[in-house]
Structure 1
């Protein structure tokens, strides 16, 4: 494989603090026909650049680590990029993670901070994130640390608001979530609508590591409406395994003793691979830490992103395997049931 130093500069590099964020924010570009590769860790940037993709997205895997290490991970990505590569800093739409420290590593002179996702009814009003999944307004500038005075924080209730924000701050570092990425992708491609790739028919493995209430409701709906072989995994540990010709569902559950989320994710990864992944056509994962742990266990460092099969469900390919990873807080109550149905319809 050629060195990244000989690869052409991408048209945009998206830097996210977790895997689902990298996928979510890159999907609007992939769905509009731009070649897109996602690196699942900073060490895979050279592998992603070597594909020659127009869009590169990188997970720094820094959501849950110490602030200083999070900033160092961002600097590591920057050092590997060709000089002059345009940047997009993806942040969580509910402002989780080490936002101030990671932005300090980028050190922008001015930045457009717009974490709204209007499609999911999550907006910015009076400088605070509000809407779906937000119990109390979250002031945006409070998460920006020493760089707060460099930020433009517009009210954004719609995709058109995000388009206008980009037009009024063309030289600012774009800092946002999937909504801002959608507006950027439209502007870069001239395409209002994105194509939706279809998941494959065949054996599907759904792995649920997130405990977000939104995800738990989606799992309940899936179990009620679809024929799935379900396994509960206390603290991520499976006591038995087996596979279905159709859909196998593995769900992390609370254990007798409380352990860290990272340990739960690591346990899940060891439990399902290779026991349940062998011969799998579709691997769906929810929870960024869960997805990162599973893909690392499988030795998958990057993948080609094709777009979103459903809103908030980016679809990528790594060899023969189709990968879908969802943030815990995305989607509506029947998202997983609808996803399972897409594969069933294709098979029939």
Structure 2
């Protein structure tokens, strides 16, 4: 079997999809296999470890095993491994990067977490959101660290060095000399624009580095710079039916709330379960299921969301599982033409509830909003758009619905 040329390891499904979609947009066969499914012949494979909310040690163990799964026992294993991290540095960036390096026996890595399209930049070694250091920004969580050298420093292992903007905006040979340094270490890089990231990507392409790390912003530039070849045909057939779009939005980010407000103003039905339906699995969801099925059967794209509800004491995973159970109900499924899924937990839970075996990526609707098609399960071939809860302008979900509708309308009649 042909092994992938590039492997991406992400800590949640929306991050896996928005990063992998960069390479799908470049014409490379790119897949996210689910639930330990075998990796097919593919140009780029993306694994979602679902480790963002785990303890650091547990996350590292899972990432180590995932990386070993990709490279074990095959002389043709990927030339590059990209450790996708959150551009707001949530989860366990250092521990998971070190796990990847351990699995590959790699002693150097380049880290560039900027995502300029979403206002996440790096200057003077500080990760920033809309120009504000992360720890004091709208996305700063308790204990957030803005300084990348501090974040990635691990006294037990390799030193961390900083590549500043002046160097990155200098001659390519200067950047390459930093990346060609044979001494063990992690290099963290500034970047404020896509051009900065492209300069890093071009230098990395010509270097001996195998481990690269960052968000979708760096991945997009790597898709332009790395010498990857389109060598595999995407095997999935796409569904031939037309139907309305179901949006499932479990994120509590303000951005998602604003996007849903735009849909409400446009006349899209918005279905919000009663609090007890989410918090108590013994409370029947029949009424919500029937309401969603009725809207979809009438041809109306519909939103199922927890926006505006209280935070559940059972955590985001339990909320996502309940929303997925509703979305995948037998009364709802026959009426769905496509899906738009917001939030990593929700995207994972819905795909699992539909028993999908993989998500084949087809490109991007907008930066950070990828598009793909499910393989296997209850709705094989259905188009799916995903989006991190904090991503996108106020019209992002509306654009997602319109784009997926457009795909369905362009399909030839069966």
Q: Please, which of 24, 27, 37 is the counterpart of residue 30 of structure 1?
A: 24
Give the structure 1 partner of residue 304 of structure 2: 250
Alpha-carbon distance in 1 for matches of 2:148, 2:274 = 36
Question: What TM-score results when the alignment is normalised by the length of structure 1?
Answer: 0.87
Give the structure 2 partner of residue 114 of structure 1: 112
Give the structure 2 partner of residue 240 of structure 1: 288
Alpha-carbon distance in 2 for matches of 1:325, 1:30 = 14
Q: Please, which of 319, 325, 336 is the counterpart of residue 264 of structure 1?
A: 319
Q: Secondary structure at the residue paired with 1:138?
A: coil
Alpha-carbon offset, residue 345 of structure 1: 5.8
Alpha-carbon distance in 2 for matches of 1:252, 1:145 = 38
- TM-superposition CA deviations, 1:52-77 (whole Å, max 9, x none): 11000110111111222211211221
Root mean square deviation, CA, Å: 2.6
Give the structure 1 partner of residue 281 of structure 2: none
Q: Please, which of 282, 291, 295 is the counterpart of residue 347 of structure 2?
A: 291
Q: Residues 64 and 148 (structure 1 numbering): CA distance in 2 closer, same or farther, change over 3 Å?
A: farther
Alpha-carbon offset, residue 79 of structure 1: 2.3
Question: What TM-score results when the alignment is normalised by the length of structure 2?
Answer: 0.74
Alpha-carbon offset, residue 204 of structure 1: 0.7
Q: Residues 255 and 122 (structure 1 numbering): CA distance in 2 closer, same or farther, change over 3 Å?
A: closer
1:188 aligns with 2:219: no
Query: 2:383 touches 2:404 (CA, 8 Å); kept in 1?
Result: no
1:326 aligns with 2:387: yes
Alpha-carbon distance in 1 for matches of 2:117, 2:406 = 26
Alpha-carbon offset, residue 190 of structure 1: 8.9
Give the structure 2 partner of residue 4 of structure 1: none
Query: 2:385 touches 2:404 (CA, 8 Å); kept in 1?
Result: no
Query: 2:250 touches 2:306 (CA, 8 Å); kept in 1?
Result: yes
Alpha-carbon offset, residue 232 of structure 1: 0.2
Query: 2:385 touches 2:400 (CA, 8 Å); kept in 1?
Result: no
Larger radius of gyration between Structure 1 and Structure 2: 2
Alpha-carbon distance in 1 for matches of 2:370, 2:91 = 21
Give the structure 2 partner of residue 209 of structure 1: 250
Give the structure 2 partner of residue 195 of structure 1: none
Q: Residues 212 and 142 (structure 1 numbering): CA distance in 2 closer, same or farther, change over 3 Å?
A: farther
Alpha-carbon distance in 2 for matches of 1:261, 1:140 = 28
Query: 2:201 touches 2:226 (CA, 8 Å); kept in 1?
Result: no
Q: Unaligned stretches of 5+ in structure 1?
A: 1-6, 192-198
Give the structure 1 partner of residue 198 of structure 2: 163
- TM-superposition CA deviations, 1:19-49 (whole Å, max 9, x none): 01110111111011111111244x23x2xx2
Query: 2:247 touches 2:340 (CA, 8 Å); kept in 1?
Result: yes
- TM-superposition CA deviations, 1:210-269 (whole Å, max 9, x none): 0011111111111112x3222102457354223321301101142486331111111111
Alpha-carbon distance in 1 for matches of 2:403, 2:303 = 16
Alpha-carbon offset, residue 289 of structure 1: 0.6
Alpha-carbon offset, residue 91 of structure 1: 0.2
Q: Secondary structure at the residue paired with 1:68?
A: helix
Give the structure 2 partner of residue 138 of structure 1: 146
Alpha-carbon distance in 1 for matches of 2:406, 2:33 = 31
Alpha-carbon distance in 1 for matches of 2:107, 2:147 = 21
Q: Secondary structure at the residue paired with 1:233?
A: coil
Alpha-carbon offset, residue 179 of structure 1: 0.8
Alpha-carbon offset, residue 207 of structure 1: 0.4
Q: Residues 343 and 316 (structure 1 numbering): CA distance in 2 closer, same or farther, change over 3 Å?
A: closer
